Structure formats: structure tokens, C-alpha cells
Amino acid sequence: MHLLETRDLTHIYRGNVHALEGVNFVAERKSRIAVIGPNGAGKSTLFKHFNGILKPTSGEMLVRGEPITKENVREVRKFVGIVFQNPDDQIFSPTVEQDVAFGPTNLGLDEETVAHRVEEALHLLGIEELRERVPHHLSGGEKKRVAIAGILAMEPQVLVLDEPTAGLDPQGVADLVEFVNRLPEEYGMTVIFSTHHLDLVAEMADFIYVMDRGRVVGSGTVGEVFARPELLARTRLDVPPIPKLIRSLQESGVAIDTAYTYEDAKKSFLDAYARRE
Ligand SMILES: Nc1ncnc2c1ncn2[C@@H]1O[C@H](COP(=O)(O)OP(=O)(O)OP(=O)(O)O)[C@@H](O)[C@H]1O
Ligand SMILES: [Mg+2]
């Protein structure tokens, strides 16, 4: 049994918009999964099926092996938390603190537990100083963090982040990467995210789904997908700079090991340097 699974999932929006066509997707415990693809590929639509915001036109959406029903949708939403692409879609309380408390309060938790979870989430996202602020007036990147904190405070087992780095400054991106990477190991969580920043994919994911026009057109480990430049080019994506540079050096006859992350690439370069004649 998979933690999340879609079987031939198809979604047709009103107006006959075929947003998903026969998508097969699985996620396991503690996995880090990136979903990449051009605008309109269906990434956000797929994510909205993961906790029953949308219903399949055909095919199946299974959470822990069970379809989402009216009876279990509350449990499913405790289990799978989604941070939307646009934070304005989920931020609406008068203060940041109240906003982050909204989800856990709705789960029926007592006041003390809610307060504790809010503190922890504000701390994890480094936004304690924003607690009294009006969410509506925050900057884009600040709103994004508040939105993530609100979902995190519900302590989902699966955290789905739709474009989490869009609008963040470089330090904000680095903080987010570090924070997200701790979740599987420290909390046993599964993280699924979409992004147009392909250089982040190797830093934040082990497995990739490539989508285009509502279909999964490729999937595999980071190494497998980035070894297929034609697949990425076909979907208006490009191999990120690190593997691209290393591949080009290899093609020029330099004996250097393949690497995808900054740290691994540094090691490859140092090894190659040490081996030089
Ligand atoms: N509520 C809706 N009603 C009708 N069509 C929709 C709706 N939401 C999305 N679509 C359409 O479904 C398709 C997939 O959209 P989706 O938002 O899932 O793509 P995406 O991969 O998340 O794109 P992006 O990278 O721009 O966020 C697009 O053609 C989009 O116009
Ligand atoms: Mg989207």
C-alpha cells in the first residue's frame, strides 16, 4: 500500500479543459518528491486531488490505500496538508498568529496544544516577529512563510508545497531548502513540491515527476531525469547548471564524477583535481 497513489487520474474542468489525463503517481513515507513541468502542465490540479479539494473526473485518488470519501475527508486533510501556490488563497485571519492557529483550532485541538503548535511553526519558519502583523499587508515572501506555518501547525504526515520558493529572496530560498530537508528525517514526513527552479530539485528531492499537458511524461530519480536533456527540453525545461557543466566537462574528456547537488559537485571537482597528473 502506498501513502498516496493516483491511478489513471483524469481531471476535466468545466469548459472541457483536460487538466489531467491518466496520471499515475505514488508517494511513500519520508520521500521527497518534485513535480516539474511548464505552466499549465497540471501540477496544481494534481496537488488539489491529494486531499480531496478536487474530485477525479475518472480514475482514482487513494490515500493510504483508501479513496477519499465524505466520511474520511477530515482525516485525510489532517494527514495531507497543502500549501497553495498563491498564499492569498489561504491567508485570511486578522493577525499572523490567528492565521497559523486557524488550522489546528479547526482540528478540534485544545487551546494549549494549539498555542504550542503555533509557537513551534512560527519558530520553524523564523517568523515569530510577524505574529501581530496583518497577513494581508505582508510581503509576498512573508505571506508564503505564514501560509507554510499554518499548514505545518496541523502536523500533517504529507506536506504538499505548490511553488514554495516563488517570491522568496535567496536567503529565504536557502532557509526553506534547509527546513524542508529536515522534515523527512526528523518528523518522518513526506514532502511533495512543485517548482520552476530546477537547480533546487536536486537539493530538495530524491524523485521527480515530469508533467506536460496533463500527463506524466517522465519520472525517476534525480540522476535518471537529469540524464535525459531531451525530455526536459521537450517540456520547456532545462538541465540545471551543475549537472550540465559536469556533463559538458565529461564530454570534453575530463574524468569527473557526475553530481547534482552543490556539495556533491564540490566533492567531484576536488576528487578530479586530486587525481590530475
Ligand atoms: N478552475 C479552473 N477552471 C478551468 N480550468 C482550469 C482551472 N484551474 C486550472 N485550469 C486549467 O488546467 C490546466 C492545468 O492548470 P494547473 O494550474 O494545474 O497547471 P500548473 O502546472 O500548476 O501550472 P503553473 O506552473 O502555471 O502553476 C491549465 O490549462 C489551466 O488553465
Ligand atoms: Mg500551478
- Tens digits of residue pLDDT in 243-259: 999 999 999 999 999 99
Q: Which residues contact 16 (CB under 8 A, 6 or more apart)?
A: none
Q: Give the C-alpha separation, 45 to 214, whole Å.
A: 9
The pLDDT tens digits of the residues spanning 179-225 come to: 899 999 999 999 999 999 898 999 999 999 999 999 999 999 999 99
Positive/negative CA dihedral, 53, 55, 57, 58: positive
Q: What is the pLDDT of residue 129?
A: 96
Q: What is the pLDDT of residue 92?
A: 85
Q: Give the C-alpha separation, 130 to 243, whole Å.
A: 38
**pLDDT mean over 151-178:** 92
Q: Which residues contact 69 (CB under 8 A, 6 or more apart)?
A: none
**pLDDT mean over 224-253:** 92
16 CB near ligand 1 (under 6 Å): no
Which of 45, 196, 237 is the best mutation target for the ligand 1 pocket, counting ligand atoms within 8 Å of the beta carbon and taking the most? 45
Architecture of domain 4-239: 3-Layer(aba) Sandwich (3.40)
39 CB near ligand 1 (under 6 Å): yes
pLDDT at 277 over 80: no
Ligand nearest to the backbone CA of 161 = 2
* Contact indicator for 251, 239 with CB cutoff of 8 Å: no
Which position has the grid cell 531531451?
230
Query: Can you tell me which atom of ligand 1 is nearest the CA of 38?
Result: 25
Average pLDDT, the chain: 94
17 CB near ligand 1 (under 6 Å): yes
43 CB near ligand 1 (under 6 Å): yes
**pLDDT mean over 26-52:** 97
Please tell me the pTM assigned to this model: 0.95
Which of 23, 35, 43, 209 is the best mutation target for the ligand 1 pocket, counting ligand atoms within 8 Å of the beta carbon and taking the most? 43
Express as a percent the part of the chain with pLDDT over 70: 100
Q: What is the pLDDT of residue 172?
A: 87
Rg of the chain (C-alpha set): 20
